[in-house]
A and B are shown apart, each in its own frame.
Chain A
Amino acid sequence: MAQDGIASDLGRLTVVPGARPWPRYEVDAETWEGVARQLGQGHGDLLSLWGERDCVHLALRAPDISTPTIFSLRIENGGFPSVGRHHPPAIRLERAVLDLYGHVPDGMPDVRRWLDHGAWGVRAPLGANEPAEPSDPADYDFLPVAGRGMHQIPVGPVHAGIIEPGHFRFTANGETVARLEERLGYVHKGIDGLLTDTDLAKAVRVVARVSGDSTVALSFAFARAVEVALDIEVPKRAQMVRGIMAELERIANHVGDIGAICNDASLTLVHAYCGIFRERVLMACDIAFGHRLMMDEIVPGGVAKDLTFDGIRAIVGAVEFVATGFPEIVRLYDATPSLQDRTATTGIVSRELVTRWGAGGHVGRASGRNFDTRRDLAYAPYDDSPPDVPSYTAGDVDARVWVRIREVEASLRLLRPWLAGLVEGAHRADMPTISEPREGVAMVEAFRGDVLVWLRLTAEGRVARCHVRDASWFQWPLLEAAIEGNIVADFPLCNKSFNCSYSGHDL
């Protein structure tokens, strides 16, 4: 096995026909393990790892390969060589594969159940699907703690605010957090199962509800995966409307987050104004698209409804409202020492960690990892209008706020020419009929980072399998690192500065 990169192994592999736009290779266990080692040595980013009944896939990108690539391995003897053993970002993904399909990742350091809390009544629901005795949901082997003066604080799953459920097991020495261990999976709805052997119309609706705050980005990725699989050319007008929707979703989430982070540090004035900015954007979306969160509005082929002149006018009004009021809030954030005292140097994530995890979005970009799907794996309409991607290195809560601030400003700059210059034309292309199975994959930059959707369609146009990978898979683990050494009271600030998706992760 070559030591100098993944590309050197590709030449002798056979490409799976019909996989687009990235090549997919069916490999043997030795090659799979070699790829895992390469990832472990830092020669590439893991984009995702997911299972099917009889095989397991991983997607990656590497500097020495011109395009992201998928590797597939048939399951033999009920297992596969663990990637997580070499490359920690794969660990939770493999635990999920084990829970859902029963495929054992050989050599994996952590084989505790992750999504399976023993409450389904079955084990390996998408694999053997055998009946299983329910077990106590609180029965989970948290990491052992040793040392004088340590105490544990269990938080969740139900949290004190209006927020999704998850469990955080803090080990603290006085006020200082010595360790945080997360336990997630509480909102696991069986989405992989619902996206296996189903019709396209149902799949579209399920994907839109993987994570409500990213419904536009997820639907965008799903639509693009279908379009690349079916060779559909999306009309230019539809591409621009999609871009408008994606940036509106980004702005609405970012201003909401900035307000919420400041609220957790008691600067409620910023929270109040940001709430008004977000509300203006959502109201404009309601007028323009018929839904405040724009759910179900991006569909394969284009957009569900055309954007009317009244819709454009409503969006322009919201854009100008935010553009006028936002700078003052930014100045306030910047000029309040008591707030800076809370956010600066709190919750630092190192560059080394975000690089290893391939963490995207504001988590990666605040710690020096400057990847943005809109620029680095460009897709319409960003291929004509690449966004300005902010880059900060402090890696603290403050940096994650500044990344959002700059991205709001960049989104406003992207929106204006699209709104002013929206081309005429169709808002949706027709769906072709196909006669053989097709595969497609796409990545989109959601507000919290890159999301990936991979799917296989049958010859009848049904969805044989669809996998959705939210950005949170590569951000949740880093929250455990961010809070180390900080006081417990700063956890809400750190957690809010990440704003990972529970539902997007739990699937």
Chain B
Amino acid sequence: MRTLLFKSLFAEPVTTDAPSASEAALAEVGAVLEVRARRLFGRSVSIREIDAGSCNGCELEIHALNNAVYDIERFGMKFVASPRHADVLLVTGPVTHNMKVALERTYAATPDPKWVVAAGDCACGCGVFEGSYAVIGAISKVVPVDLHIAGCPPKPIDLIKGLIALIDKATTPSRLVAGRIRS
């Protein structure tokens, strides 16, 4: 192990360069975010991931965010184990009826201010599961959503662009409404 650690110290980093925020995400998020985030959180954001019914493809790409190549912790974003520690809920999947209560309770357990990001085509609008008795549909039908990131699944780079837009806008002055997001 020491050999490998030693080699790693002198190897070229594999981490990609930081991308700029995606235009579409900035446009959407710009309307709804508030300024207090920077004062409260600096530039760090704690993310709780919730699978509300996905096929697990989105989860694979979200996992990739934490690998050495995308390394979102360098942007101050980290994943947390409990919704009580979270600023952002990253939700995937068409919400299944069986996951509705769990999603609502996790949302309720997340203290304000919080943001919800719907990741993936199913989270944005049901995807191929449209019309099934077992699914409710887009995340926005169950909890308010602040940012949608499309894709099936969204690539890690698109997830990062969306999340950076979320943080950027959280630091721009806009309407301040008692710690909650209002559109």
Point out residues on A near B: beta carbons under 8 Å.
117, 119-122, 125, 129, 137-138, 157-158, 160-165, 185-191, 193-194, 202, 205-206, 209-213, 215, 256, 269, 272-273, 275-276, 278-279, 282, 286, 292-293, 295, 328, 332, 335-336, 501-503
Contacts and interface: CB of A to CB of B under 8 A. Distances in A.
B132 A275 contact: no
Nearest to A188: B134
Given A162-B49, A212-B58, A332-B1, A205 B128 contact: yes
Interface in B116-148: 127-129, 131-135
B74 to A, nearest CB: 14
Interface residues of B, number: 50
Contacts of A332: 1, 4
Interface stretch (B24-32, B37-45, B91-99, B171-179): B91-99
A190 B129 contact: yes
A210 B55 contact: yes
Nearest to B132: A190
What secondary structure prevails in chain B residues at the interface with A? mixed
Contacts of B58: 212
Given A137-B98, A332-B1, A209 B53 contact: no
B60 A119 contact: no
A211 B5 contact: no
B18 interface: no
28 contacts: A120-B97, A120-B134, A121-B97, A157-B99, A158-B106, A160-B81, A161-B81, A162-B79, A165-B52, A165-B102, A187-B53, A188-B96, A190-B135, A193-B132, A194-B132, A206-B128, A211-B56, A213-B60, A269-B1, A272-B68, A275-B66, A275-B67, A276-B69, A279-B14, A279-B68, A293-B57, A293-B153, A503-B55
B21 interface: no
A211 B63 CA distance: 16
B152 interface: yes
Contacts of B132: 189-191, 193-194
Closest 6 A-B residue pairs measured CB to CB?
A212-B57, A275-B67, A190-B134, A190-B132, A160-B81, A119-B97
Given A121-B97, A332-B4, 14 more contacts: A120-B97, A158-B51, A158-B102, A165-B52, A165-B99, A189-B96, A189-B132, A189-B135, A190-B134, A193-B132, A213-B56, A215-B55, A269-B1, A336-B1
A502 B99 CA distance: 13
B98 A185 contact: yes
Contacts, number: 152
Given A186-B99, A190-B129, A293-B153, A269 B5 contact: yes
Nearest to B1: A332
A209 B53 CA distance: 11
Contacts of B134: 120, 125, 188-190, 193
A206 B106 CA distance: 28
Contacts of B133: 120-122, 125, 129, 190, 193
Contacts of B49: 161-162
B112 interface: no
Nearest to A136: B101
Nearest to A282: B64
A187 B1 contact: no
Given A190-B132, A332-B4, A336-B1, A212 B56 contact: yes
B114 interface: no
A378 to B, nearest CB: 28
A279 B97 contact: no
B59 interface: yes
A163 B49 CA distance: 8
Nearest to B155: A292
B100 interface: yes
A255 to B, nearest CB: 11
A119 B131 CA distance: 16
Contacts of B55: 209-212, 215, 503
A94 to B, nearest CB: 19
B56 A501 contact: yes
A275 B55 CA distance: 21
Contact of B57 (A215, A256, A335): A215
Contacts of A188: 96, 98, 134
Contact of B100 (A119, A129, A193, A206): A119
A475 to B, nearest CB: 15
B50 interface: yes
A276 B58 CA distance: 18
Contacts of B160: none
A293 B151 CA distance: 12
A480 B83 CA distance: 27
B97 A117 contact: yes
A275 to B, nearest CB: 3
A449 to B, nearest CB: 16
B101 A163 contact: no
Contacts of A202: 128
B82 A160 contact: yes
A165 B48 CA distance: 13
A272 B57 contact: no
A267 to B, nearest CB: 8
Nearest to B100: A119
A161 B58 CA distance: 14
Given A120-B97, A194-B132, A164 B54 contact: yes
Nearest to A204: B128
Contact of A189 (B53, B59, B81): B53
Nearest to A277: B67
Contacts of B54: 164, 187, 212, 503
Contact of A157 (B63, B82, B102, B135): B102
A367 to B, nearest CB: 25
Given A165-B99, A276-B67, A332-B4, A292 B129 contact: no
A502 B57 contact: no
Contacts of A137: 98, 101
B168 interface: no
Contacts of A160: 81-82
A501 B4 CA distance: 33
B63 A162 contact: yes
Contacts of B57: 209, 212-213, 215, 293, 295
A256 B57 CA distance: 14
